[in-house]
Amino acid sequence: MTTQVIYTRRRLGITGNPPYDGEPFTQFSAVTPETKLEDLNLNWREMDLPERERTKHVHRLHPYLGKFIPQLVEIFLRKYRPTVVCDPFCGSGTALVEANALGIEAVGCDISPFNCLLSRVKTASYDLPVLEAELHDILKRLRERIKGGPQLYLEEMASDYLRTWYTPRARRELLAYRELIDRYRYQDVMRVILSRAARSARLAPHYELDFPKVPVMEPYYCYKHRRICQPTQQALKFLQRYSLDTLRRIQEFAALKTEAKVMILLGDAREVEFPPCDMVITSPPYVGLIDYHEQHRYAFELLGLEERREAEIGAPWKGNSERGVREYIDDMVAAFRNVMRALPKDGVMVVIIHDRRNIYDAIAEQLKVRTEYRLKRHVNRRTGRRADDFFEDVIVWRKS
């Protein structure tokens, strides 16, 4: 793309990436405040940015549908180099982790207590030998309990959800592990391991783990593995596997972690009092697409977390009709106005969203912000069994 074409597109208010078949940008550490965003091709294919890099270290402590790519966050953090960055919809903590790795203080907020739990575990500091010893010890105690035979009192602790989605064996193993957690220092890490194991141990088809509709009780054809699969019968193997994986990932991030402070706020982005910051970067909830509470229903059930589903912005049950879109716009304007109180004049806000309805121009107009940059990025990967193309918009606003 020539300089003249870039200039013309910018003058007309049209910004975007170079052609998809161009050279993708992967020199992330080379980004500086002088880097021109319009020169970067952010259309990564699997071969350009493999899954192992998108889910490096703690970014994959637990599956999370709808999170943005850490490398995309890194680019904008290096470009604008804030002192304190804020993510008012921090989800699983991607922006907070990337900010810490760069020595940037970060503030995250989320209405879901499970999301805040994930963010805390990813960004906490650990005594690694103690953590390793505790993770091995709880598994040892769990195996001893299982060998001791069924503990019938655990069944009395099971909710209707746990009785529906787990075999008796898997259910007892999960509940026994949960009962042991209080003995240890790093309880939140164990809660995340328990949740991740519970996700995998459900009587759910392997190809439908995000939002399974009904439990499978008989062998079934698995579209993911392309063969006949059996319903999952136990949780212990997942607890063992994810304990080792979690330890390894926390150890990897410990080598990169800095002393930069991370603050995590449990609350509604429309109401929370944010501390001063000089940059916002976020991937806000989409309108009528993902139920962020139902996505982790097993965690809410096992960990006894408070659901705040009614206050969730853009939840599918609120609909995506014209009325639902108007409500979403009002909610997002309220959230951004609130966080903008913590921003100085000319503070930058980076919003990464699938804006298929083109409603973020209306949001920007109500906020009275200047749109400095906007592109549509091709996401060349698939989520679950989705077969169609997927795009997301990257928008840079300036506070007037």
Residue 33 burial (CB count, 10 A)? 8
Domain assignment present for residue 356? The answer is yes
Domain assignment present for residue 215? The answer is yes
Which residue range is the domain that position 95 belongs to?
Answer: 16-112+262-289+312-399
C-alpha 315/C-alpha 296 separation (Å) is: 14
Both 137 and 190 in one domain: the answer is yes
Both 240 and 354 in one domain: the answer is no
C-alpha 88/C-alpha 77 separation (Å) is: 16
Domain assignment present for residue 375? The answer is yes
Q: Please check the confidence at residue 70 and state whether its pLDDT lies above 60.
A: yes
Domain assignment present for residue 3? The answer is no
Number of folded domains in the chain?
2
In the sheet that holds 262-266, the strands lie side by side as: 262-266, 105-110, 84-87, 279-282, 348-353, 390-399, 369-379
Q: How confident is the model at residue 13 (pLDDT cuts 50, 70, 90)?
A: very low
C-alpha 359/C-alpha 315 separation (Å) is: 16
Both 272 and 361 in one domain: the answer is yes
Both 217 and 281 in one domain: the answer is no
Both 157 and 248 in one domain: the answer is yes
Domain assignment present for residue 295? The answer is no
Percentage of the chain surpassing pLDDT 90?
Answer: 72
Both 153 and 207 in one domain: the answer is yes
Q: What is the pLDDT, as a whole number, of residue 4?
A: 33
pLDDT in tens, 112-161: 999 999 999 999 999 999 999 999 999 999 999 988 776 766 777 788 99
Q: How confident is the model at residue 240 (pLDDT cuts 50, 70, 90)?
A: very high
Q: How confident is the model at residue 39 (pLDDT cuts 50, 70, 90)?
A: confident
Interval 229-244 mean pLDDT: 97
Both 360 and 280 in one domain: the answer is yes
CATH (domain of 271): 3.40.50.150
Using CB atoms within 10 A of its CB, is residue 22 exposed (0-12), middle (13-18) or buried (19+)? exposed
Both 158 and 84 in one domain: the answer is no
What rounded mean pLDDT belongs to the chain? 90
Token reading at 166: 């787990």
- 391/215: higher pLDDT: 215
Domain assignment present for residue 29? The answer is yes
Among residues 230, 253, 276, the one where a domain terminates is: 253
| Strand ranges (E), the chain | 84-87, 105-110, 220-222, 227-229, 262-266, 279-282, 348-353, 369-379, 390-399
Both 186 and 285 in one domain: the answer is no
pLDDT in tens, 389-399: 678 899 999 99
Both 134 and 248 in one domain: the answer is yes
Domain assignment present for residue 119? The answer is no
pLDDT in tens, 253-293: 999 999 999 999 999 999 999 999 999 999 999 887 778 88
C-alpha 313/C-alpha 302 separation (Å) is: 24
Both 227 and 341 in one domain: the answer is no
DSSP code at position 29: G
C-alpha 226/C-alpha 233 separation (Å) is: 20
C-alpha 49/C-alpha 287 separation (Å) is: 28
Token reading at 307: 């659901």
Domain assignment present for residue 299? The answer is no
Both 359 and 242 in one domain: the answer is no
Residue 291 burial (CB count, 10 A)? 19
